[in-house]
A and B are shown apart, each in its own frame.
Chain A
């Protein structure tokens, strides 16, 4: 890990600025993302409406008029996007050594039975291993929630063992059921609701990823481990 942080920073709209650390998916870069998010939340700025972390970037969405009035006191001394850019840059911690991101580990029960896992056999076939081996490799790792996106409560997790990394389907399925656990390249994720989707479905969890009050189970920065359960257990838990 380098001692200083390099990044690019640019507006993505007239009311949003992105700081992009670059590079591939990695835990180190994602740690920097959440350190920056924490610093921005701590040093909150009136007019900022959303702080959106992704794999290797943080996007700050703001209400232009509020920032202009509250922060710049209605004066055009500096463009608002430049003011926001400075605020973000002032919160980038240049020293990234010795900082730990501590979060809870969440255990997710997953049934890998082919009746709820339409792609588990073809994934096994593509890698010339058994379905049982796919389950072993998928449950062996602790995954990081790198970000939420796509659907409310959908968690992009990684990094999947290279022996079971599988690209998305060329043509997405019109319907993937809520709770379906999928793989897409280095990523794994769970569909929080019924949706069209292209990920390779290798299992299904009986847990609800989002409740009726729109609270989500897998928040960015959390750690997740999958625990294999039988079809019987799945059906029992699913009824609860």
Chain B
């Protein structure tokens, strides 16, 4: 099975889950920016968690399916036109060979994740027009109405709303939080941070009034993580995202909690949010809760897919 990109979107790429284990040699873990959408996409087509998915921004690529398959798209909530039918995010969709998928505007979110049954074979870098993306296995499902009915949705949608928040991103304080004065800490809570145009998979630059007025010297380089809030010499924040460098020398005033990273990844350039400080035990509790909810939804997907295909 394969799909072909007949019109490239903005920075389409194939992504797995973060690839850890080589950060000590300077290799960024990378992987899908929105890991929740990544996991949901795979669950909806019966894949393992780490199967490779297609990450797209908006406007997204136009795609043709070269063979019948089961696919879905998750992440930014949107609709798409599949030949003449409208299909929606978070649905498993069976598609015939030759069908064309075009995403509709607008979308609620910044990134769309498309998964096909079996997962894509990994290919590095930015995808171009006419690229063919191979999948690791075929979808052996014969359905009636070939030639007449181009798409069937399986009739249900996974509700992923509970995983995303839009106004407040929660963070824990970092080792250099103390570079902020008492007054700066008080002001911080009321500030809005706008995602600057110069933001990418490495990091989001956050536009705000300067949050810190003392010039802090550059520190000895030390490890940073996805979500680290770095304070630049101009008193502004950079939050590190999937393709972050493994080490850095800017003061680290905090880190976005893991449970809120998917929400941040779905915020489009130009949108704003506030930051709320919480303690690490609360961050752990929220992460565990999120994992439990995710597993429940994954199990529901598995059950529904089994049920659907056993009836046929």
Contact = CB atoms under 8 A, between A and B. Distances in A.
Contacts of A57: 220, 222-223
Interface residues of B, number: 37
Given A13-B258, A25-B220, A53 B24 contact: yes
A37 B25 CA distance: 13
B151 interface: no
A81 B280 contact: yes
Contacts of A148: 24-26, 246
B284 A50 contact: no
Contacts of A156: 221
Interface stretch (B71-79, B183-191, B224-232): B224-232
B260 to A, nearest CB: 10
Contacts of A79: 280-281, 284
A165 interface: no
Interface in B47-102: none
B280 A154 contact: no
B221 A68 contact: no
A11 B172 contact: yes
A51 interface: yes
Nearest to A155: B26
A12 B228 contact: yes
Contacts of A24: 220
B25 to A, nearest CB: 5
B245 A149 contact: yes
B157 to A, nearest CB: 26
Given A20-B222, A147-B221, A14 B26 contact: no
Given A10-B175, A50-B20, A55 B223 contact: no
Contacts of B24: 37, 50-53, 148, 220
B21 interface: yes
Interface string A79-109: 1110000000000000000000000000000
Contacts of A81: 280, 284
List of 7 A-B pairs having minimum Cβ-Cβ separation, nearest first? A149-B247, A59-B223, A49-B20, A14-B283, A52-B223, A148-B26, A13-B255
15 contacts: A12-B174, A12-B175, A14-B287, A24-B220, A49-B21, A50-B21, A50-B23, A55-B220, A55-B221, A57-B220, A64-B288, A68-B288, A147-B221, A148-B25, A149-B245
